[in-house]
A and B are shown apart, each in its own frame.
Chain A
């Protein structure tokens, strides 16, 4: 059987992992520089598409064409996101159906953007194993609905991956913990990531991980913490520097560049405040520099309402599981946002116990995905995950009321059957509207799709007996089949997903990506090589300006020659030549760099001595 990798497709970062067959332990696959996390950022540049770190560097340089946190847009429509459009630097076209992002004069869908991230992880795994990888387990928030799951699977297909299982992130995390820590008992997994929140309650018993209840919010995470902090900063900067801002004509929130800069500063401050009690923020603007001392209390006051929003779903999940908080044996923290001390305090208060966080909260979901991949591949035979569907599934009936067919927290796979008939003589087509959600009215639930049953033999009204089977598989994905019971004929179902790509659209994207995949890889590597060359050129130029007197004439000539060569190579299209000349320039400046470092250190020591002398006097 071919190898299956485990992928955590995160809002902020994505990772790929596998289970090492020798040790039977899951491992994250790092990139060539040893980095495990791939920023889930995709930049569309005139030269090609960038992903990860290379794309992150474009956030400020090219805010309108650099897409981040696309997971929050997966399986969603324009109406869902129009409230936050003003915070997004890239444009989203108002249109029916799924969100379409406008970059570089074209429209891309969230699954296509996610596919770029997935393809980079696929290539990373292929380099690691030296073989083609075609199958993957991908994790999603437990509270993702059918459209969001479908969008994730489409992204996999576009990236050339057969998504053999979609696993819920908190349950994946419990698998990773279960390998050696959880043996028996009731576990609550609290998963607060960059964009989504999940709570899952599981019973672990002799290798069976049975999910009892799950709840969450697919639009709540660290991004929201950043946003409240960013808006607060904008207000503060505005009040202190309104004159300079007005003169420069800068609107901190509406100006894409300024907003991006502020967002990144807010994110950095938030992260620092998770480990230190106070931090100083310095943001250089064209005409002034903003300084601010921020104590942890300030950010806690700002994010407290958001953290409180996670507690309602926790209580509902406990209720659905029929358990009290005191009956939870272990609490596990997952997701980068659980590093925030206030989050930890609130979780500890709710469950009355100290939560586990031994495994790296950034990596644990990917590790669990790898474990699930290994289970599917037959490498693990004693662990089994029994998950649930997070939302009730129903159909719209007369008067816009939803009739529930599969209640939330039903163990999957699960199926339900419903009978339909005609209301007019000779009717050959029946429509139905499938929804997900907990509200009574169809308009308050999530529309998944409209189905058209056709090919019904003409009969008097009410005569046909069409049995429709709704099946939610182990991925949490819905499939429907229909049969006319009198004739035994299978009825044709045409599915019109409300917020999804049609089969033809996915097919086209798969073909496009197949055609461009090779070219894309080459382009990306070329751009990366050029970026690296630019960095080295800048450093060397500075070194020559500042340290020329420290180099011999011969050395300086050698460096200048290597620099000229790289400048020339950088203009060409051969990335191997660029990389080689970059390395050559690095080598040529090694000695000068050392000498300059020594001089700098001496300088530092001398100046300290001077300080000490001053102090002692």
Chain B
């Protein structure tokens, strides 16, 4: 039984959050071990398994991005283990900019940051974060809708579009994480020293 089926849902990305939560509570009441304490051992074991399945399904579906990752793994028949469904990939239009950033990051690691480079990194980070939000909105908005509306012939393409967008988003996230780490590491250097 896949996670959509656990909740009696079609394999669609547009999910009513409130209805999903209500169904989760309902299924929890049905299967949670707390309500099975008096049941015979084999029923308790089954309830435990079902309860774990309900929890995993809710975790995968409640967040719209995690939901897309799960859909991709499901469609491609891969292990249903949590984690990135796609490899991070740089968006072509940002390649040059990111290459430059990587160089700055290397310098920062080697010898710290001057005030100007630091300001530039902060600005870059904020711009990339905005770009990442944009990508998330695209994923959960039009790209999700495209999958939900796709006929059998278009499903492949709709899924590929989701994957590309997800790969871009994942890439942006690693760059932002790197930037944050570099900014944090070098912060010490720029705190004005107090005289004692």
A378 at the interface (CB under 8 A from B): yes
- CB of B25 within 8 A of CB of A412, answer no
B112 at the interface (CB under 8 A from A): no
A1 at the interface (CB under 8 A from B): yes
Closest to A376 in B: B37
A92 at the interface (CB under 8 A from B): no
- Other A-B pairs beyond A205-B21, A386-B32, A413-B51, 13, CB < 8 Å: A206-B25, A208-B28, A372-B34, A375-B35, A376-B37, A378-B38, A384-B25, A384-B29, A407-B82, A415-B49, A471-B48, A473-B48, A474-B32
- What residues of chain B lie closer than 8 Å to A376, measured between beta carbons? 34, 37
Q: How many chain B residues have a CB neighbour from A under 8 Å?
A: 21
User: B22: shortest Cβ distance to chain A, in Å?
Assistant: 9
A385 at the interface (CB under 8 A from B): yes
CA distance A385 to B32 in the complex (A): 9
Residue-wise interface mask of B (51-66) relative to A, using a CB-CB cutoff of 8 A (1 in contact, 0 not): 1100110110000000
CA distance A411 to B61 in the complex (A): 13
- CB of A384 within 8 A of CB of B35, answer yes
- CB of A474 within 8 A of CB of B25, answer no
Closest to A378 in B: B38
Residue-wise interface mask of A (471-496) relative to B, using a CB-CB cutoff of 8 A (1 in contact, 0 not): 10110000000000000000000000
CA distance A105 to B29 in the complex (A): 52
- CB of B55 within 8 A of CB of A413, answer yes
Q: Per a CB cutoff under 8 Å, which of B32, B34, B52 touches A471?
A: B52
Residue-wise interface mask of A (205-231) relative to B, using a CB-CB cutoff of 8 A (1 in contact, 0 not): 110101000000000000000000000
Given contacts A384-B28, A413-B51, contact A375 B34 (CB under 8 A): yes
B81 at the interface (CB under 8 A from A): yes
- What residues of chain B lie closer than 8 Å to A165, measured between beta carbons? 34
A414 at the interface (CB under 8 A from B): yes
- Contact residues of A: prevailing secondary structure: strand
- CB of B56 within 8 A of CB of A415, answer yes
Complex interface residues of chain B between 71 and 98 (CB less than 8 A to chain A):
79, 81-82
A416 at the interface (CB under 8 A from B): yes
CA distance A166 to B126 in the complex (A): 45
Of listed A208, A410, A412, A418, residue having the most chain B CB within 10 A: A208
- CB of B81 within 8 A of CB of A413, answer no
- CB of A414 within 8 A of CB of B38, answer no
User: A461: shortest Cβ distance to chain B, in Å?
Assistant: 22
Q: Per a CB cutoff under 8 Å, which of B32, B37, B52, B79 touches A378?
A: B37
User: A183: shortest Cβ distance to chain B, in Å?
Assistant: 15
A417 at the interface (CB under 8 A from B): yes
- CB of B52 within 8 A of CB of A385, answer no
- What residues of chain A lie closer than 8 Å to B25, measured between beta carbons? 205-206, 208, 210, 384
CA distance A415 to B52 in the complex (A): 6
- CB of B32 within 8 A of CB of A164, answer no
Closest to A412 in B: B55
CA distance A37 to B91 in the complex (A): 63
CA distance A165 to B44 in the complex (A): 14
User: A33: shortest Cβ distance to chain B, in Å?
Assistant: 34
- CB of A410 within 8 A of CB of B55, answer yes
- CB of A384 within 8 A of CB of B33, answer no
- CB of B81 within 8 A of CB of A386, answer no
- CB of A414 within 8 A of CB of B35, answer no
Of listed B25, B33, B35, B37, residue having the most chain A CB within 10 A: B37
- What residues of chain A lie closer than 8 Å to B79, measured between beta carbons? 417
- What residues of chain B lie closer than 8 Å to A405, measured between beta carbons? 81
CA distance A372 to B35 in the complex (A): 11
Closest to A206 in B: B25
- What residues of chain B lie closer than 8 Å to A386, measured between beta carbons? 28, 32, 55
A354 at the interface (CB under 8 A from B): no
Closest to A417 in B: B81
Q: Per a CB cutoff under 8 Å, which of B29, B49, B58, B81 touches A411?
A: B58
User: B109: shortest Cβ distance to chain A, in Å?
Assistant: 18
Given contacts A413-B52, A414-B52, contact A473 B28 (CB under 8 A): no
- CB of B35 within 8 A of CB of A413, answer no
- CB of B33 within 8 A of CB of A474, answer yes
User: A474: shortest Cβ distance to chain B, in Å?
Assistant: 5
A308 at the interface (CB under 8 A from B): no
CA distance A225 to B82 in the complex (A): 41
Given contacts A208-B25, A407-B82, A471-B48, contact A384 B32 (CB under 8 A): yes
CA distance A206 to B22 in the complex (A): 10
CA distance A377 to B34 in the complex (A): 9
- What residues of chain B lie closer than 8 Å to A411, measured between beta carbons? 55, 58-59
CA distance A208 to B56 in the complex (A): 18
CA distance A385 to B33 in the complex (A): 10
CA distance A613 to B52 in the complex (A): 81
- CB of A473 within 8 A of CB of B37, answer no
- What residues of chain A lie closer than 8 Å to B38, measured between beta carbons? 1, 378
- CB of A413 within 8 A of CB of B34, answer no
CA distance A210 to B59 in the complex (A): 13
- What residues of chain A lie closer than 8 Å to B56, measured between beta carbons? 414-415
Closest to B31 in A: A413
Given contacts A407-B82, A474-B32, contact A413 B48 (CB under 8 A): yes
Complex interface residues of chain A between 140 and 169 (CB less than 8 A to chain B):
164-165
Complex interface residues of chain A between 436 and 489 (CB less than 8 A to chain B):
471, 473-474
CA distance A411 to B37 in the complex (A): 19
Given contacts A206-B25, A411-B59, A414-B56, contact A385 B34 (CB under 8 A): yes
Complex interface residues of chain A between 499 and 548 (CB less than 8 A to chain B):
none
- CB of A473 within 8 A of CB of B33, answer yes
